[in-house]
Amino acid sequence: MTHWARTLDAALEASFLLSFSRVGFSLRNRAERWPPPETLSLDGRVILLTGGTSGIGRAAAEQLARARATLVLLARDPERTRATAEAITAASGNDRVSALHTDMGDPDAVRSAAEQLLRTHARLDVLIHNAGAVHSARRVAPGGLEATVASQVVGPFLLTALLAGLLARSAPARVLTMSSGGMYLAPLRVPPELAPERYDGPRQYALAKRAQVVLNELWAERLAPAAVACHALHPGWVDTPGLREGLPRFARLLRPLLRSPAEGADGLVWLAAADGAALGTSGGFWLDRRRRGVHRLPSTRRSDSAEARRALWAYCLERSGWDGDLDAVIRAAS
Ligand SMILES: NC(=O)c1ccc[n+]([C@@H]2O[C@H](COP(=O)([O-])OP(=O)(O)OC[C@H]3O[C@@H](n4cnc5c(N)ncnc54)[C@H](OP(=O)(O)O)[C@@H]3O)[C@@H](O)[C@H]2O)c1
């Protein structure tokens, strides 16, 4: 990267508004001359993508299918997921796109989706946790947990744990997690659920997204011996059904500055495909093809202690009900 591109990136990064908007995407893309997604090849790689029926996930699915990946789309509605897989096959000419339906907030459903994937696929190169939503009113997920935390923290934890052996057998492999820049405003809090009487959708979402970023680092440490790299990222501000429904006023106000779903998916597709930067490191947090810091406020940095991290891991083990032995899973795969 040239000195000019680095200086521009640093100037953009100093402002949320410029960095997260389509201005940041377009200036960086031009200054750094990113190879377009059409140049990527994923032939022979198997990718499981959660939340592939809408918004960023749908745009990522289209790009991954065009790059010839074997793609499994996972979302809640069986008919919608199947129809999306068929539409993507028709548009890309790639007939290795299939559908798997599950509610990421329901641990039993996550277990049965993992079992199904293990039955149908002999390898898994990339696991992408993209499904997510802001819930304006508090909802309870099937296992009894608040829905944001259930579907974006505990569900993805369980799916990674259940598929860790397959990822390790397919190594080098990677696990990607779509977090949000909103996590910069949230501390690491365990348990991450707000009390029901204090529920605030965007706050709950930001706490879940912070927990995702910390879990990404914890998985990176644990899966390093198996050559499974873990990265989290955020997409900037993207014009999607999810943003319009979850944060309607924000979406209306910033509409001219929002990224398109394809722009929002760029970093995700790049991390899924890039063999240099992404596979050479693990535990990173990315925006626009560059690693970023995970704290911007002293208060969130203070909250992110070794003790809080241990508590988060223990919380996920307990709430997901996963009692596997990760070391044994990794040893068996190597
Ligand atoms: N848009 C933004 O500006 C923005 C900014 C920062 C981060 N993000 C993150 O980017 C990701 C994608 O968001 P988006 O804006 O593209 O949202 P979206 O348009 O609402 O798409 C969300 C996808 O997730 C699936 N999904 C939601 N809850 C699920 C659950 N419990 N189980 C299984 N699938 C579930 C949805 O599928 P079904 O409804 O068909 O099940 C849909 O495919 C999310 O993690 C979000 O937090 C977005």
**pLDDT value of position 330:** 86
Query: Is 213's C-beta closer than 6 angstroms to any atom of ligand 1?
Result: no
Which atom of ligand 1 lies at the shortest distance from residue 105's CA? 31
pLDDT tier at 3 (50, 70, 90 boundaries)?
Answer: confident
CA distance 216 to 285: 9
**pLDDT value of position 333:** 82
Question: Any idea which residues carry the catalytic annotation?
Answer: 205
Q: What are 262-303's pLDDT values in tens digits?
A: 999 999 999 999 887 777 899 999 999 999 999 999 999 999
**pLDDT value of position 225:** 94
Query: Is 130's C-beta closer than 6 angstroms to any atom of ligand 1?
Result: yes
Query: Is 204's C-beta closer than 6 angstroms to any atom of ligand 1?
Result: no
Q: What are 197-249's pLDDT values in tens digits?
A: 999 999 999 999 999 999 999 999 999 999 999 999 999 999 999 999 999 99
How far, in Å, from the CA of 58 to the mean position of ligand 1?
Answer: 9
At residue 103's C-alpha, the angle toward residues 120 and 111, to 5°, is: 50
Q: pLDDT over 90 for what percent of the chain?
A: 88
How far, in Å, from the CA of 331 to the mean position of ligand 1?
Answer: 34
Query: Is 56's C-beta closer than 6 angstroms to any atom of ligand 1?
Result: yes
Residue 182 CA, distance from chain mean position: 14
| Overall domain count for the chain | 1
Query: Is 135's C-beta closer than 6 angstroms to any atom of ligand 1?
Result: no
Average pLDDT, integer, range 71-75: 98
Which atom of ligand 1 lies at the shortest distance from residue 53's CA? 43
For 97, the 3-state DSSP assignment is strand
Average pLDDT, integer, range 310-328: 95
CB 170 within 8 A of CB 278: no
DSSP secondary structure string for all residues of 6-65: HHHHHHHHT-HHHHHSHHHHHHHHHHHTPPPGGG---TT-EEEEESTTSHHHHHHHHHHH
How far, in Å, from the CA of 240 to the mean position of ligand 1?
Answer: 9
- Residue 98: pLDDT above 90? yes
- Residue 38: pLDDT above 80? no
- On whether residue 7 sits in a domain, the answer given is no
Q: Which domain holds residue 124?
A: 40-333
Radius of gyration of the chain (CA): 19
Structure tokens, 200? 């605030």
**pLDDT value of position 280:** 86
Which of 108, 129, 243 to mutate to test ligand 1, by most ligand atoms within 8 A of the CB atom?
243
Q: What is the CATH number of the domain that holds 259?
A: 3.40.50.720
- On whether residue 166 sits in a domain, the answer given is yes
Average pLDDT, integer, range 62-91: 97
**pLDDT value of position 275:** 81
**pLDDT value of position 183:** 97
CB 152 within 8 A of CB 212: yes
**pLDDT value of position 129:** 98
**pLDDT value of position 255:** 95
pLDDT tier at 36 (50, 70, 90 boundaries)?
Answer: confident
CA distance 299 to 210: 13
Query: Is 149's C-beta closer than 6 angstroms to any atom of ligand 1?
Result: no
Mean of the per-residue pLDDT values of the chain: 95
CA distance 67 to 273: 9
- On whether residue 56 sits in a domain, the answer given is yes
Comparing 262 with 35, the larger pLDDT belongs to 262
Q: What is the dihedral angle through the alpha carbons of 9, 267, 301, 11, rounded to the nearest 10 degrees?
A: 10
- On whether residue 16 sits in a domain, the answer given is no
**pLDDT value of position 81:** 98
Residue 324 CA, distance from chain mean position: 23
Average pLDDT, integer, range 36-56: 93
pLDDT tier at 45 (50, 70, 90 boundaries)?
Answer: very high
**pLDDT value of position 194:** 98
How far, in Å, from the CA of 76 to the mean position of ligand 1?
Answer: 11
Alpha helices (H) along the chain: 3-13, 16-20, 22-32, 55-66, 78-92, 107-120, 147-149, 155-169, 201-223, 241-246, 248-254, 261-273, 277-280, 298-303, 306-320, 326-333
**pLDDT value of position 331:** 87
- On whether residue 33 sits in a domain, the answer given is no
- On whether residue 236 sits in a domain, the answer given is yes
CB 259 within 8 A of CB 22: yes
Q: Whose CA is nearest to atom 8 of ligand 1?
A: 180
Average pLDDT, integer, range 91-116: 97
Average pLDDT, integer, range 38-53: 93
Largest CA distance in the chain: 52
- On whether residue 32 sits in a domain, the answer given is no
Query: Is 237's C-beta closer than 6 angstroms to any atom of ligand 1?
Result: yes
**pLDDT value of position 239:** 98
CA distance 18 to 287: 13
